[in-house]
């Protein structure tokens, strides 16, 4: 059975160092950003955060790229798996970088189902 993905934004998953900050304290972690889009992501992490927690994030889309820094809010928690976050202040430039990374990933994977 094929299900249609009705999400508004295209997504990719990447392995990257993610700096997660809360209350001014940052922790560098090696996490997987799943379902990364211009709206948010799912961060696979053993860290525990509550829904509604505001986090500061810093990550790279690929080695050698500049860091993307933004604030995000935890929208859902899957205990033992990670947290779904929504970006609150992703800059226009960083939105463009995320969009370009998604498009590049889809071209490399041969996924032509995405409207351009």
What pLDDT score does 8 carry? Answer: 59
Q: Which of these, 67, 45, 46, 44, lies nearest to 57 by C-alpha position?
A: 67
CATH number, domain at 59? Answer: 2.40.10.220
Instruction: Name the domain count of the chain.
Output: 1
What pLDDT score does 86 carry? Answer: 97
Residue recorded with tokens 């800059």? 91
Q: What are the start-end ranges of the E strands in the chain?
A: 12-22, 25-36, 40-44, 54-59, 68-78, 82-87
* Pair 12, 114: CB distance under 8 Å: no
Q: Which domain holds residue 59?
A: 12-106
What pLDDT score does 110 carry? Answer: 65
Whether residue 112 is contained in a domain is answered as: no
Does position 77 have pLDDT exceeding 70, yes or no?
yes
Burial 31-52 (b: 16+ CB within 10 A, else e): bbbbbbbbbbbbbbbeeebeee
Length of the chain: 116
Round to whole Å and give the CA distance between 72 and 89: 7
Whether residue 71 is contained in a domain is answered as: yes
More confident residue, 103 or 75: 75
């Amino acid at each position: 059975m094929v299900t249609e993905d009705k999400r508004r934004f295209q997504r990719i998953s990447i392995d990257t160092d993610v700096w997660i900050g809360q209350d001014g304290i940052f922790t560098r972690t090696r996490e997987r950003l799943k379902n990364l889009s211009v709206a948010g992501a799912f961060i696979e992490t053993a860290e525990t955060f509550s829904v509604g927690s505001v986090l500061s994030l810093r990550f790279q889309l690929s080695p050698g790229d500049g860091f993307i820094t933004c604030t995000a809010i935890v929208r859902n928690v899957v205990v033992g798996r990670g947290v779904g976050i929504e970006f609150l202040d992703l800059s226009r430039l960083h939105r463009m970088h995320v969009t370009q990374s998604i498009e590049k990933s889809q071209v490399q994977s041969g996924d032509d189902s995405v409207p351009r």
